[in-house]
Chain A
């Protein structure tokens, strides 16, 4: 959008300086040129962003049974799909699971990512190699890491339970008990998200001038104080964007949960995203309309989080 605006200003500004007689014609020509340059971007935005969004809303306010989907004559139901979803028992559970899954994930990812970033910032021997190893979760295809996690957490044959048994802790049914399955997928998701946080926060740390630490050291600030008074406040903008991106990524996580538990057992690890996916593709009978409605609710939540971020950011700029 920024580039769009700049192009417009340049073109109009240029036209203002043109010679009076041919001024109007030239201005029009330039406007057309500007539009021509914009056209590909606008087409791209419409085809790949506006239309899918419109379609999602359209799906959610109609009753698209498979029959209606094929014949293209769905009944208009207004907000009925939304009301059905809000009244569904699954909704509150899924909302709670989504909140727990998302908040626990990004809090832990951020904390671990920040700790590791500060740790690696000290440039000891082998730190580059170790840092590279922390990126592995990011590089692995999700199907691989999710399957590996579900093998490790297997009730009877998993390595995690084998290790716990060595300490005399009995079998924990990580993925097959309604009490632990959400915890299990959250742990796996935290592991997946740490590298992202590590990389961004590490980059943020590079931007903090070293002389600040030096000066603080001369003033007698200990390591903890240096972290609290310099690192943390100066990382604030980077932290905010990391948390926002983490929130948006985590809200829409489907794959890892789907592979590990299918949202089960008994809906215990069903988040809103899983619910939406299951309605649309998880059963023999695709139910696109409620799925789209749940999807739109998710977009609203992410959008609200984005607004909060913009607000915080503005406060930051003013300060």
Chain B
């Protein structure tokens, strides 16, 4: 009797202990993780980036390792998908176990900086003057710089040389919107499809629309200005006149590129990252800058990742982090990053000289990056994502025929104003 109740009691205690330990394990997991991180302070640094396509054996991973070794530590690298990375970073910030370095897509920098998660570069004495002003701007918030670009990419118009030759179009003649539209009409008359771009209802849609929006002289603070309406009217007239396929409304930049590679399209709006793919296409390709409405080069939005340094409890870690950051951004380092990523244009003047010496054909891209503009610049900061959502919704409305360009943008402006207001 006694024995059996003893064993029952033991069983009860054991089960309760098990349950309790399971509970505490759940509750304390974050602390446990941050504990291990600081315990290994001397040896191991954590690094997150949005490049899951580069695995541990890739040139990129080796470069990260090398910079760690140079600073005397090993770097534990974890790669996430771009959108997942922002969410992971927010969660880590909440739990207080953020990694030492995060490579962030540039519009996310101001969001995380505003959350108080990132340390400013000046806090640990990293010099930011050598980086191109227009590129660093995306990492600035209220006069402080929270990240440095490891390289930049932007948009231009790729063209299919064969189609343009057959249609009798000289790419050099494309100077403004009118000459571009004329060229596209010639292509259509020659029986080919003139242009494809991505107007999908995501950030990519806004990214692709911005060169035209800015090229007309519009500002993100006023989405329904007459200039903005002109830009959107240009896009919707292309759809209406059959110069661009209707599917652009749901096309991502990748889909657009696939379409261009079929050899059916004369022009495709796409980015630096397709340089290698364009070189490997079955037809000769070339690049022209996106023209502004009345001539000249339109400001294109900068893309690309920023190195950011999340706030750490143990401020002693910043010294090593600084060394790692410096290693990643030497001119040689930037060129190496640029070629690893096929292609990233270096974010400093020295780096740009160095990559041009190696690859002179990148000249139009270097120029495009120099005239490019950060999406969160003009001190839009954390307001940008909200404005952008309103903008791509407006673009979608106009292109799908749900509203006229003017009405769509009027609604977009109202939506943006409401979203930014609170």
Contacts and interface: CB of A to CB of B under 8 A. Distances in A.
The answer to whether A binds B is yes
B266 interface: no
Interface string B80-107: 0001001100100110000000000001
B267 interface: no
A266 interface: yes
A264 B83 contact: no
Contacts of A313: none
Nearest to B13: A36
A25 interface: yes
A145 B125 CA distance: 52
A154 interface: yes
B386 interface: yes
B22 A66 contact: no
A281 B83 contact: yes
B245 A155 contact: yes
B86 A286 contact: yes
A260 B107 CA distance: 25
Contacts of A35: 12
Interface stretch (A113-121, A130-138, A170-178, A238-246): A170-178
Contacts of A268: 400, 402
A283 B114 contact: no
A229 B200 CA distance: 51
Contact of A150 (B250, B399, B403): B250
A178 B398 CA distance: 11
Contacts of B107: 284
Which of B26, B86, B111, B247 has the most chain A CB within a 10 Å cutoff? Answer: B247
A69 B115 contact: yes
Contacts of A22: 1
Contact of A266 (B19, B115, B116, B397): B397
A50 interface: no
Nearest to B403: A266
Given A69-B90, A69-B94, A70-B90, A285 B201 contact: no
Interface stretch (B3-11, B155-163, B322-330): B3-11
B385 A283 contact: yes
A99 B370 CA distance: 50
Interface stretch (B224-232, B281-289, B388-396): B388-396
Q: What is the interface of chain B mostly: helix, strand, loop, or mixed?
A: helix
B112 interface: yes
Nearest to B203: A284
Interface string B395-412: 011011111000010000
Given A155-B245, A156-B245, A171-B246, A43 B9 contact: no
A47 B16 contact: no
B117 interface: yes
A26 B12 CA distance: 14
Given A39-B15, A43-B22, A176-B246, A282 B393 contact: no
B116 A156 contact: no
B9 A29 contact: yes
Contacts of B12: 32-33, 35-36
B108 interface: yes
A173 B246 contact: yes
Interface residues of A, number: 47
Contacts, number: 140
B261 to A, nearest CB: 13
B220 to A, nearest CB: 14
Interface string A270-298: 00000000000111111000000000000
A47 B23 contact: yes
Interface in B362-389: 382, 384-386, 388-389
Contacts of B247: 154-157, 175-176
B16 A36 contact: yes
Interface string B9-46: 10110011011001100100000000000000000000
Given A29-B5, A70-B93, A262-B201, A284 B115 contact: no
A66 B111 contact: yes
Interface string A103-129: 000000000000000000000000000
Nearest to A35: B12
A55 interface: no
Which of B8, B246, B384 has the most chain A CB within a 10 Å cutoff? Answer: B246
Contacts of A263: 201
Interface in A6-50: 22, 25-26, 29-30, 32-33, 35-37, 39-40, 43, 47
Contacts of A284: 86, 107-108, 111, 203, 384-385, 388
B353 interface: no
A315 interface: no
Nearest to A72: B94
B246 A155 contact: yes
Contact of A67 (B19, B23, B116, B201): B116
A2 interface: no
B23 to A, nearest CB: 6
Contacts of B382: 66, 285
Contact of A175 (B1, B90, B116, B250): B250
A47 B26 contact: yes
A178 B393 CA distance: 12
Given A43-B19, A260-B250, A281-B87, 16 more contacts: A22-B1, A32-B9, A40-B15, A66-B111, A69-B115, A70-B90, A155-B245, A157-B247, A173-B400, A175-B250, A176-B250, A178-B397, A265-B201, A265-B400, A266-B397, A266-B402
10 contacts: A37-B15, A39-B16, A66-B115, A70-B112, A175-B250, A263-B201, A264-B396, A283-B203, A285-B385, A285-B389
Interface of A: 22, 25-26, 29-30, 32-33, 35-37, 39-40, 43, 47, 65-67, 69-72, 150, 154-157, 171, 173, 175-178, 260-268, 281-286
Interface of B: 1, 5, 8-9, 11-12, 15-16, 18-19, 22-23, 26, 83, 86-87, 90, 93-94, 107-108, 111-112, 114-117, 200-203, 245-250, 382, 384-386, 388-389, 393, 396-397, 399-403, 408
**Top 4 A-B residue pairs of the complex, sorted by shortest distance between their CB atoms:** A284-B385, A285-B385, A265-B400, A176-B249
